Amino acid sequence: MSKKDFPIFDKHPSLVFLDSASTSQKPRSVIDAELQFYNNDYANVHRGIYQLSENATAVFEETRRKAADFIHAEYAHEIIFTKGTTESINLVAQCFGCLQIKSGDEIILSAMEHHANIIPWQQLCERVGSTLKIISLNKSGELDLDAYEKLLTEKTKLVAVIHVSNVLGTINPIKKIIARAHAKNIPVLVDGAQAVGHLAIDVQDLDCDFYVFSAHKMYGPTGVGVLYGKTAHLDVMSPYQTGGNMIRRVTFEKTEFNVLPYKFEAGTPNIAGVIGFGAAIDYINQIGFEKIQSHDNKLLSYATSELEKISGLKIFGTSKNKSGVISFTVDCAHAHDIATILDQLHIAVRAGHHCAMPLMDYLNVPALTRVSFGIYNELSDIDKLILGLDKVRKIFT
């Protein structure tokens, strides 16, 4: 678990990468897995009866089993490969939402949601005449569970909530949220994009109905995501897209759809990306979440204590149960100016609304600067960040 595992730091040895909440860098094992497939083993999956295709199919499906084990799904067929978290949520909104949500119904979201877990539900509400209800936050950036309890009514037909905030770093009490919804027979979707690379996930223990995430935020390739859904839900949902591979039989009069999970995987998938995703799962498993969380906590604690020493800097999101994300303002400079100056020092941070404009409105800020950690970060990266912010203050004061 070090920078040596990641080739980008060989090319850019001075790089301080503090934007892992946006996307994580890739270890050599993930890159090599994709190269190996393209160089030596490439063929389409599920369709060929020749050896190369059968080998590709076997490796592809092995990743599905790895993903199921990774989040402790009961069955491999509950793992649907998508392009990412965004497509996974859209799939559920289109294919489950149309069954579940009718005119006059309500969907509960939280004030800290990413746009990807707002807009699909907003669009669904506009189509069918339903309403969004929003869980409020306390001053620490935690969900108000008492307010949430009051929102749960006979009109509530779905709860869709983020596991870990990509802005505040708050780790939400997902199991409690799900239990309270299920007590009223309300299904729950969890956006796990920010959680899967940092926390051990057990979807059976959580008892969530849907869990969605992306490979690229957990050291895997872009263009690959997962929708986990309980079999009972997936069975009754119609396909999101139609075409090749998701069929059992086609005539001009009627089409019979394929079994799970293939019913939701139309067309040629991102085969190499899925294989790279399998290598990313292996990489994380080799390290273990105990080490990953210990490393996150060490970085978070040190960075928080050092940032709090800077005059005029305000941290947003101070939950005691928090992941490796810190968002802040500095009174003398806009977030974009801060990020630009840090970039000149080879420090990569994120600045802006972080695909969470409603949260920015809720916090009454135009933009935030965000630092977020990966397993390749070191305490020295934080020291360089602090020196960079000192330079920001000298320029603008």
Catalytic residue among 98, 125, 332, 355: 355
Q: How far apart are CA 46 and CA 60, in angstroms?
A: 9
Place of tokens 């994580």: 24
Query: Residues 117, 255: contact at Cβ < 8 Å?
Result: no
DSSP state of 34: H
Number of CB atoms found within 10 A of residue 229's CB: 30
Separation CA 227–CA 87 (nearest Å): 9
Q: Is 98 an annotated catalytic residue?
A: no
372 contacts 20 by C-beta, under 8 angstroms: yes
Q: Any idea which residue has 């730091």 for tokens?
A: 9
Relative orientation angle of helices 289-307 and 271-287, to the nearest 10 degrees: 80
Q: Cα(61)–Cα(82) distance, rounded to whole angstroms?
A: 14
Largest CA distance in the chain: 73
In the DSSP assignment, the letter for residue 239 is: P
- The CA distance from 328 to 309, in Å, is 13
- How far apart CA 273 and CA 287 sit, in angstroms, is 21
What whole-number distance in Å separates Cα of residue 393 and Cα of residue 173? 37
Element (H, E) at 226: strand 225-229
Spatial CA neighbour of 16 closest among 341, 298, 354, 342: 342
Asked if residues 133 and 107 have their Cβ atoms less than 8 Å apart, the reply is: yes
Contact 91, 81 (CB under 8 A): no
The total number of residues shown for the chain amounts to 397
Report the Cα 70 to chain-centroid distance in Å.
15
The pairing of strands 325-330 and 188-191 is unpaired
**Catalytic residue positions?**
355
